[in-house]
Structure 1
C-alpha cells in the first residue's frame, strides 16, 4: 500500500522511535500504549506495528485491536461494520446474504488470541521479532 511522502515519513520515524519499546518488552499491548501515548493512531499505528513485528497486515491489526488501550477504536470498528451490515441487509432484505455472522472483531471481554499468547505477549502467528 502506498502512502504520500509525509505519511510514509511519519510511519518510519515512529517505527524507529518505538523500536526500543518493542525490543525491550516484546508485548503488543505495551507497544500499542506507547504508540497511542505518542499520538500514533489508526492506519499509521497498524503500519508501525507491521514494521516492528515483521508481520502481515492481519497480525498487525489483531495486535492493534486487541490492545486494551484501543478499546474505543475496536468498538468504533465493530459499530461501523454492524451499520454496514444492517444497511446492506435493509437494501437486500436479508442480512444472511451479506454477512452471515456478527462483527469480525471480538468484544473487549472476548479476546481468544490473548488467552493463547505466549509469555512474551506476542500473539501466535507468522510474526517474527
Structure 2
C-alpha cells in the first residue's frame, strides 16, 4: 500500500516513528481522498480566514505538545494590536533536523572544494 511505503520512507529519512504514526492517524483517507481529488477554485481573500504557517525543525519534545493555546494567544495578541482579524488559522510545519551524516557530507564537500581551489594553478 502506498501509505505504508510512504511511512517507511519517512522513517528511513529519520522521522520519529511515533510522530509519523500520529500524523498518519489524523488523516481519514476514506473522507479526505475523494475531496482532495476534486478540482477546486482558488479562494478569494474575502473567503475564509488566512492560514499562517509556523515553520519549525522537528523536535521529539513537540510530539505530545498541544499548540492550540499558542495559536489562541497569537490571535488575541494580533487582535489587540490591530494587526490581525478574527478567525486566523494557524498551522505548524515541521522539517526533519539535519542528521550527522548530512553535516559531515557538507563539511567534507567544503573541505574538498577548498583543497581543490588551493592546488589549482591559474593557466
Greater helix share, structure number: 1
Fold-level similarity (TM above 0.5): no
Larger Rg: 2
Question: The TM-score by the shorter chain falls in which range?
Answer: under 0.3
Give the TM-score taking structure 2 as reference length: 0.27
Greater strand share, structure number: 2
Give the TM-score taking structure 1 as reference length: 0.26
